[in-house]
Each structure stands twice: as C-alpha cells, then as structure tokens.
Amino acid sequence: MAADSILTTVRQYLEFDPTDKVTLEPIKRGASGRTIVRVKTEEYEPFIGIHWTDERADNDFYPPVSHFLEKAGIHVPSIMYENLKWRVALVEDLGDEDLLALKGTPWETREPYYRSAFEQLDKLFYCRAGKTVEFNPPFDTAMYRWEQEYFFEHLMEELLRMHARELREAPEFEALAERLGGVSKHLVHRDFQSQNFLLRDEQAYWIDFQGMRRGRQEYDLASLIHDPYLDHSEEERERLMDLWEDVAEDRPAESMFRDCAIQRLMQAMGAFGNIIVNRGDDWYRQHVSAGARQLAAVVKGTEFEELLAPVLEKAAAFPA
C-alpha cells in the first residue's frame, strides 16, 4: 500500500505514463513508523519518497513543519511535491551520510556539522510561528510523566524484566516532570540526535522533525550532547558544550540541563526497549549499554543516582 501510494504520486508529479520505469529503493532509517524510499528514474536525479499512516498522529505534521522550518532558514530537505490525501511527500535527496556515520572520526571532521546543528538550534529558539502553523501539543508535566512511564514499562519491565513500581511512585521523578513542565515557550525538535542530521557541504540538515512542539531548548541540546548512539566521553561532552557556548554566547543552567538530560535519556532508553521487544529490531540492542553509561554520568551525585543504580547496572551489562 505504501509503495503503491508513493509510486502513483511519483507518476503524477513527473507526468509519467504507466510504462515509464520507476525504481523504489527502501531506506531503513530510525523507527518513526514511516516508509521511506529513494526514487530513481532514467530521466531525473534521484529524490526521496515518504509515506506515513495515521498510526502516529505526529507524522501528519511533517509537511507543515517542513515548510515552516524552511521559511525560517533551518536546513531541511525541500519538499518537491506532496499528496496529503494519500500521506505522501516527495523530498530532496541529500544522500545517506548522517552524523552517526562520523562516529570515531577526528574532531576537526565533525566540528563543522555540530556547529551547523547548534547554529540552527539557536536560530529555532528565536523563531516565532504564526497561528496558522500547527504543532504537536507542547511539553507539559503530563508529557514528561508519559516519557518516564515509557522508561519504566519498556526498558525496566519488558526489556530488563525488573519491577518498576518503586520508581513509578518515587516523588523525585514526579518533581522532575513538574520542574520541566513549568515552561514550554520555545520550539524543540524533540529527537535532536545524530541519525536525524544529514550532512552536505559542512552543513547539517534536519530530518524526522515531525514531533516538533514547544518545550525547553535544553532538551534538544541534551539530546545531542548525551546521544547514546555516539556515546560521547566526558571530554567530548565538554567540548560540545564549549562549542554551544561559542555559538549561543550562553551556557545553560547546570541544573536545568541536567534535568533535561535525565528526562531525555529515560525517553531514549524506553524507546530502545520498545523497539527491541515489540518491533523485533535488534540493531538497537548495541545502544542500551551506552544509554546506561550516559544516564549514569548525568545522575551521579544527584537524588536519582541511588534510585536508578540497579537499573543502570543491569542495562550497562545488556548484551548487544
């Protein structure tokens, strides 16, 4: 169904006859529940076809958010054509190299792309969307509690086979959600991690931004600095924070950044558990231990260290 919808939309866009050859090459990226293919023809340069279902409500936000970001000067793949009735968008092909592909390369190679991502994040902070642009519901206390539940259910109970009742009822996590949910004025990508930046000409192009909503900028910043896929060392994290300070001419308050990092890492690890157990995608197994290391570094010396210690110890030993 998805391939048929994309193929029909491609033929409409290119005004192709049924006999004209069109090749759809699947692209496996992330776990957003969308079908993404590379479209190849004999006459035109390749481009990307995206189809989504109504299984996840945020996927319907992809086209309007894309147009908003492009107008705001954020680097995103341009939409060439869209068929909203069939939930299909045809977009610019920026290639396959993402920030994750540079893992382990020298800092001098990676720095321009981090700088590009940070410059755009700083620009997003000042963007003001008109009332005609619709986004997902903003982060609030209930949303943060939902993310925590994602961790309790999918990582602790389903993946690690641990009891989560004590942590569910711990007032420390409820207080964390309340602190973060107090303000949500600024737009955030919501999944600001290495797989969601395609690289071209020393610029980082954002993808998978359909979950954009209002929240705290520090959430996005923590998502990249404490990205489990890249598993930055303490030295690398400090280098990234220095780069952010150079770009934004400011450094986030340590307590708020820490809170956002805890929250984000819990969400990410909950997602790993859900994808591994319920979708059967074992590629994510290799990142569970890295997520545990990152979260352990963040909670060290806080009220969360003792609470999370048994969970993170077991997660750190999870077999890849």
Between CA 273 and CA 280 the distance in angstroms is: 10
Q: List, for residues 159-201, the tens digit of each pLDDT value.
A: 999 999 999 999 999 999 999 998 778 999 999 999 999 999 9
57, two tokens = 């409500």
Q: List, for residues 122-148, the tens digit of each pLDDT value.
A: 999 999 877 778 899 999 999 999 999
Q: Which of 91, 117, 143 is the last residue of a domain?
A: 91
Q: Report the 10 Å Cβ neighbour count for 15.
A: 7
First CA to last CA distance, the chain: 34
Same domain, 138 and 268: yes
Same domain, 71 and 52: yes
CATH of the domain at 122: 3.90.1200.10
Q: Which of 56, 91, 126 is the last residue of a domain?
A: 91
Confidence at residue 229, expressed as pLDDT on a 0 to 100 scale: 98
CA distances to 38, 90, 217, 250, 289 from 186, rounded to whole Å, are: 33, 29, 7, 16, 32
Q: Residue 303 sits in which domain range? A: 99-316
Same domain, 131 and 19: no
Same domain, 11 and 132: no
Distance of CA 312 to the CA centre of its chain: 22
Same domain, 80 and 103: no
CATH of the domain at 31: 3.30.200.20
| HSE (side-chain half, CA atoms, 13 Å) at 29 | 24
Same domain, 35 and 159: no
Q: List, for residues 271-320, the tens digit of each pLDDT value.
A: 999 999 999 999 999 999 999 999 999 999 999 999 999 999 999 999 99
Whether residue 268 contacts residue 291, with contact meaning beta carbons closer than 8 Å, is answered with yes
Same domain, 219 and 167: yes
Band (55; pLDDT cuts 50, 70, 90): confident
Confidence at residue 184, expressed as pLDDT on a 0 to 100 scale: 74
Confidence at residue 32, expressed as pLDDT on a 0 to 100 scale: 64
- Give the percent of the chain with pLDDT over 90: 90
Same domain, 112 and 150: yes
pLDDT at 30 > cutoff 60? no
Same domain, 265 and 158: yes
Q: Which of 41, 58, 91 is the last residue of a domain?
A: 91
Confidence at residue 153, expressed as pLDDT on a 0 to 100 scale: 98
Same domain, 222 and 271: yes
216, two tokens = 């705290």
Q: For the chain, how many structural domains are there in total?
A: 2
Q: Which of 319, 91, 110, 311 is nearest to 209 (CA)?
A: 91
40, two tokens = 């190849």
Q: Which of 278, 287, 272 is nearest to 319 (CA)?
A: 287
- Give the percent of the chain with pLDDT over 70: 98
Q: List, for residues 271-280, the tens digit of each pLDDT value.
A: 999 999 999 9
Locate tokens 């020393």: which residue? 202
pLDDT at 18 > cutoff 90? no
Whether residue 285 contacts residue 276, with contact meaning beta carbons closer than 8 Å, is answered with yes
Same domain, 72 and 197: no
Same domain, 215 and 80: no
